[in-house]
Structure 1
């Protein structure tokens, strides 16, 4: 499992011109990708890491200050463009595998006490954010 995490002042995601998820205060915008062999261990690790990583102001975590998270599914995090001009998506898990794991990460975060806003899995989304810092971090679950 892979995530690109941005510290933001605000962020929102729209589908078809309608806002479906938004955070209006400082927090984290998370783009989440799933690969084929991800499962429950990766879900728990990623949720705990996202909730506890200290990238907010004054080296605080979302859990320290109750900051919200906007979590957006993004299979393209597993794109590979090393060869040719067209990326391949072979490392990205298909929707029937990745959607339940995306949902599980969001549920796990909520279970830890996070306010979680979401995109719409598989939708064509427009994401708007105001980066803070800017701070962008790539998180990847450790290999089993």
Structure 2
């Protein structure tokens, strides 16, 4: 029996500007493979082209200790508000959850830095299934690592 929709939130302060951090996700998301090879094994935009609303992406990743795959649609990409909504269409994570959505939102935090907010919304298939803490924790680690890269670039 499904357990209802649950939300997890995380945020991290970074020194990169919102434009620079958000721009990486919009224009260079494929570089996550080289930056985090132990976690992101492959990434592709199905059908090619840039990341935009409606883009479908395919990921091979490992954040739980087990290789996984996911087909993910970019439900919305809002350049003005620096946010991207992702919805999982298929893949291993849907073995545990009836639905899985993630949102990235980057907002200015003063002195040129940003606050990166990750929101995950999911519906467990069973009440005893775990929360996707590994996924949220990876998003935070990735944000910090990406910030280090962007401030050196």
TM-score, normalising length: structure 1:
0.31
TM-score normalised by L of structure 2: 0.30
Q: Which has the higher contact order (CA 8 A, sep 6+)?
A: 1
Higher share in strand: 2
